[in-house]
Amino acid sequence: MKHKIKNKYDILKQKIYIIIYGSNTFAGKLFDLVLLGVILLSVLLVMLESVERLDSKYHTFIIVSEWIITVFFSLEYALRIICNKKPLKYIFSFYGIVDLISILPMYLSFFIPGSRVLSMVRALRLLRLFGILNLMHYVGQESHLKLALKASRTKIIVFVYFILIVSVLLGALMYLIEGKENGFTSIPTSIYWCIVTLTTVGYGDISPSTPLGQSIASLIMILGYGIIAVPTGIVTAEFSNLKRSKLDSKYKRNCPTCTTTIFDEDANYCYNCGQKLPNVYTK
C-alpha cells in the first residue's frame, strides 16, 4: 500500500515537473507566462519602492505585495527542487542560483535592513523568456550571436586591455596638463574622464578648459572615433563569415557512395572517393 501512495506521489511529482520545467503543454506554457508576469511585477515593485514619492504613499501595499511574491517564489523554488530527479544539478545550475538569490534578500532584510534592494537580481530570471519563446532553439539566431562573439572574444579582450593602457597614459597626461583646478582632481579621475571621452559618452562633468588640454582632448576624441571601428569591424567580419559559410552550404549534397558532404556547386565527382555525382541538389 505504501508503494501505491509513493507511486501516486511520483506521478504528481512528474506532473508538476512537466508544468514547471516544460513549456510544451498548455499548463506548462501558462505557468511560464504567469511566472514571467510575476517576476516582471516583482522587479517593478522593487523599482517603485526606491522612488521616495511613491514609497511614502504606497509603502504598506508594496511591502505586502513583495512578501506575497517572495512566498510564491519560495514555494516555486521548493517545488523545483522536490519534483526534480536531479535536484543538485538544478540547485547549482545558473537558473538555480539565480532563483535562490532572488528570494534570499527579502528574508535577509529582517537582519540587514535595506538588503531588499538586492531583489533586483530577479531581473535575471526574465532571461527565461528566451526559453519560453523557443528562441533558444532558434539556433540560427542565438548560436550565431554566440559563435560570432566567441570567435572574436580573444581579439576583443586584447583590444580592451590595449584601450585601458592607453586610457591610463592619456589620463595621467591630462592630469598633468589640466590639473586639480580644472576638475582633473586625481589620476584615477583623469582616467575615468579619458574612458568617458574615448567611448564618446562625454558626460561633461569633467571637461578640459586649457587650450592645450582641449587640443589633446580633440585628438583623443578623433582617436576614439577611429577606435570604435575596430570592435565593430571584428564582430561584423565574424558575422559575415558565419553567414557566408552558411550560404555556402546551400548547395550541399551527399555522395551516394561514401556519404561525404559536398559543398561545391560545380562538383562533378566526389572529391573523397572519385564517384560520379548526381546533379540533384539538396536545397
The least CB distance from residue 232 to a copy of itself, in Å, is 4
Q: Based on CB atoms, which residue is closest to a copy of itself, 3 or 266?
A: 266
The least CB distance from residue 242 to a copy of itself, in Å, is 8
How far apart are alpha carbons 255 and 257 in whole angstroms? 5
8 A C-beta contact, residue 93 and residue 80: no
**Percent helix, strand and coil across the chain, each rounded to 5?**
75, 0, 25
Q: Name residues contacting a copy of itself, limited to 148-177 (CB under 8 A).
A: 148-149, 154-156, 158-163, 165, 168-169, 172, 175-176
Question: How many other C-beta atoms lie within 10 A of the C-beta of residue 118?
Answer: 17
Q: Mask: binding to a copy of itself, 252-271, rule CB under 8 A, as x and -?
A: ------xxxxxxxxxxxxxx
Q: Based on CB atoms, which residue is closest to a copy of itself, 25 or 200?
A: 200
The least CB distance from residue 126 to a copy of itself, in Å, is 5
Residue 103 binds to a copy of itself (criterion: CB under 8 A):
no
Q: Name residues contacting a copy of itself, limited to 117-136 (CB under 8 A).
A: 117-118, 120-121, 123-124, 126-127, 129-130, 135
Q: Which of these ranges, 17-25, 50-58, 62-70, 91-99, lies near a copy of itself under the rule CB under 8 A?
A: 50-58
Q: CA–CA distance from 115 to each of 44, 61, 106, 128, 193 (Å)?
A: 16, 19, 7, 24, 32
User: Which residues have a Cβ under 8 Å from the Cβ of 177 and sit 6 or more positions away?
Assistant: 208, 210, 212, 213, 216
Residue 249 binds to a copy of itself (criterion: CB under 8 A):
no
How far apart are alpha carbons 84 and 89 in whole angstroms? 9
Residue 33 binds to a copy of itself (criterion: CB under 8 A):
no
Q: Based on CB atoms, which residue is closest to a copy of itself, 82 or 222?
A: 222
Residue 238 binds to a copy of itself (criterion: CB under 8 A):
yes
Sign (positive or negative) of CA dihedral 113, 47, 68, 124: negative
Residue 225 binds to a copy of itself (criterion: CB under 8 A):
yes
Strand 261-262 relative to strand 253-254, pairing: antiparallel
Residue 41 binds to a copy of itself (criterion: CB under 8 A):
no
Amino acid at 267: A
Residue 191 binds to a copy of itself (criterion: CB under 8 A):
yes
